[in-house]
Amino acid sequence: MGVTRTAVLAGATGLVGGHLLEVLLEDGAWDHVLSLGRRDVELRHPRLEQRIVEFADLGELPPCTDVFSCLGTTIKAAGSQAAFRAVDHDAVVALAEASYRAGAERFLHVTALGATSRSRIFYNRVKGETERDVAASGVPETVAFRPSMLDGHRADSRPAERVGLAAMRAVAPVLGRYRPTRVHDLALAMAAAAKAGQPGHRVVDAGEIRSVDLGGRTPR
């Protein structure tokens, strides 16, 4: 019999998290998937467990092998820089620290292209500080994914983003790593990295994120 493998996913109600949840459930590598969020997802599956949590007071995680964070917001949605940081840094780092205490082997999370703790741009600086602090959490393997602008259908309307995506798609071949990152490619890449396993701390840049065949249906 193989070793039981449990995935914990935070942020399954979001754009990336929703795709990643489908990938994890369709792939036979994980015996159990625990979704953590402020509300349930509509999807039901025999290997899926859902828990409603407040990430500011997360508590302890059950024993697990792989933890995925798709937590994230925007300054506009959060209402202030402090509220943005509470989600994109504090909640992610708290999850990583809880993952370490739960014995997780790896922690995979989404940041952004241009992330660096030395940036003068607040958004990029917070993302970079998150990468730094997650790597210091004690989890043996951490992987930060830095996508470009995310290309996928959102339930909420973002007119300016839709216009920007349309323009970027038109010139995608010449944008290199700045071309829009397809959400399902990102989800597949995260799952594939978890399955491959590579102890240490690394970054997967937008240019490296490609569609990966995991033997299941590619989410739309």
Within a domain: 157: yes
Number of domains within the chain: 1
- The domain containing residue 150 runs over which residues? 6-207
Q: Is the pLDDT assigned to residue 94 strictly greater than 70?
A: yes
Query: Half-sphere exposure (CA, 13 Å, Cβ side) for 155?
Result: 5
What's the whole-number mean pLDDT along residues 118-125?
Answer: 96
Within a domain: 187: yes
Cα 166 from chain centroid?
A: 24
Within a domain: 100: yes
Within a domain: 220: no
State the DSSP H helix or E strand holding residue 9, giving kind and residue range, or none if neither: strand 6-10
The pTM is what?
A: 0.85
Q: Is the pLDDT assigned to residue 210 strictly greater than 90?
A: no
What's the whole-number mean pLDDT along residues 73-97?
Answer: 96
Within a domain: 165: yes
Asked if 106 and 71 touch (Cβ cutoff 8 Å), the reply is no
Of the pLDDT bands very low, low, confident and very high (cuts 50, 70, 90), residue 207 is: confident
Q: Is the pLDDT assigned to residue 215 strictly greater than 50?
A: no
Mean pLDDT estimate for the chain: 86
What's the whole-number mean pLDDT along residues 73-101?
Answer: 96
CATH of the domain at 49: 3.40.50.720
Q: Which of 97-101, 126-130, 143-147, 149-153 has the lowest mean pLDDT?
A: 149-153
Within a domain: 101: yes
pLDDT digits (tens, 9 = 90+) for 160-185: 555 554 544 444 454 556 678 899 99
Within a domain: 47: yes
8-state DSSP, 96:
H
Q: Whole-angstrom Cα distance, residue 88 to residue 208?
A: 22
Q: Is the pLDDT assigned to residue 74 strictly greater than 70?
A: yes
Within a domain: 12: yes
